[in-house]
Amino acid sequence: MATQLLMIEDDTRLAQMVGEYLGQSGMQVTHHADAAGGLAQLQGPGSGGLPDLVILDLMLPDMDGLEVCRRIRALQGPAAQVPVLMLTAKGDPMDRIIGLEIGADDYLPKPFEPRELLARIRAILRRRTDGAAPAAQTLRFGSLEIDRDARTVMVGGQPCELTSYQFDLLVAIAERAGRVLTRDQIMEAVRGRELEAFDRSIDVHMGRIRAAIEQDAKNPRRILTVRGVGYVFAKQQD
């Protein structure tokens, strides 16, 4: 079955080009030129079901892309967990940081090479597929439980809301509990590539993960910062 993608992009020529290129790789793109149409499809997907991933442009005619991402994450049920790849203006790191903070799984600056877009999409979908592998098991650290099969996180029996990428980040550091990991090592474990220069997206995501799993995100006891190096996931918790 073809991978189903939803592209919310007001540049119809770009959307057509992307649709044709991704179609060559067995992906089917449904395009909406505004936020209203894209959100409507996610809220009432009908017989076609939910898309496997949303490609979301930052600049839309009827609504800011950041607000669209925020609304997607606020939807009820599985629609809130659909991965979001955000297209941002080149050289505008603040928009990327905000996008990651509100739940985008990845970002790609414009203009971009179609091959890189395809690679980013495959990486996001592969992380989700790999996370559902039968060999996975539940990681437990005190009251924190990470179920790699169900891709869920619980603290004291209460579910924690994380994006698919944040879940993968948490698993990557939890599997290496007690080891100090640089940002590049974490990125390599999750995405298979090193960070770009001055890329602080890992820090943004870590902040979101802490907010979800720590009792006090400002004084974390699970994910500790090692200044000048990176992060360490504590073996002993609670």
Residue 199 scores a pLDDT above 70: no
Read off the pLDDT of each residue in 213-237 and give the average, rounded to a whole number: 91
**Average pLDDT, integer, range 56-75:** 91
Beta bridge partners, 106, equal 85
Residue 170 banded pLDDT, cuts 50, 70, 90: very high
pLDDT of residue 202: 84
For residue range 95-141, list pLDDT tens digits in order: 777 777 778 888 888 889 999 999 999 988 887 765 544 444 789 99
The domain over range 138-233 is classified in CATH as 1.10.10.10? yes
At the topology level, CATH places domain 3-131 in: Rossmann fold (3.40.50)
Domain coordinates in residue numbering, the chain = 3-131, 138-233
34 or 165, higher pLDDT: 34
* 154 pLDDT tier (thresholds 50, 70, 90): very high
pLDDT classification of 197: cutoffs 50, 70, 90: very low
Most confident of 84-93, 134-143, 199-208: 199-208
